[in-house]
Amino acid sequence: MSSIDTLNAQFRQMPPVLAMALNAIAWDGDVLRLQAPLAANVNDKGSAFGGSLAGAMTLAGWGLLTLKLAEAGLAAEVYVADSQLRYLVPLKADLVAEARLEAGTDWDGVLRTFRDRGRARVSVIARVEAGNGATAAELGGRFALIRSG
């Protein structure tokens, strides 16, 4: 299986993620994109539920780090430590969330720290698109990587 198929298999093993019908759809080594249908993630106002937006962006960050570590051959557990979220406009379409490293953070430094110390802290940014290049919601989060196995 490709990395992205492995990630989708992990997503489907988590009941709340299965319920969101969330899937990884693109991965270029720097940006991970996830998609989920609005129908499974709708609130009382016919727009995307805030908890689903938070979940999709958190999983995009978690998946970004999980994929990169796996491709580097490193066994690690990835935990979200904290996050800041802003909800900008209601989303009445399927969710597309993408995550990447925060500007100023580079993979070489992250992987070197992790190899040296068996752990690292990484800052990630994520957003959910609202169409026409606009942003429905955005997240800045810190994740902890801890050697496993």
| Alpha carbon distance 109, 103 (integer Å) | 13
Tell me: does residue 110 bind a second copy (CB under 8 A). no
Give counts: helices (H), strands (E), the chain.
4, 6
Q: In three state form, how does the secondary structure of 21-39 look?
A: CCEEEEECCCCEEEEECHH
Of the residues 31, 85, 111, 113, which one makes contact with a second copy according to CB under 8 A: 85
Q: Does 52 bind a second copy (CB under 8 A)?
A: yes
- Name the residue nearer to a second copy (CB basis): 5 or 106: 5
Q: 109 φ, ψ to 5°?
A: -65, -45
Q: Contact between 49 and a second copy (CB under 8 A)?
A: yes
Q: Which is nearer to a second copy, 38 or 111 (CB)?
A: 38
Interface residues with a second copy (CB under 8 A) are 10, 13-17, 19-20, 39-45, 49-52, 54-56, 58-59, 62, 77, 79-87, 90
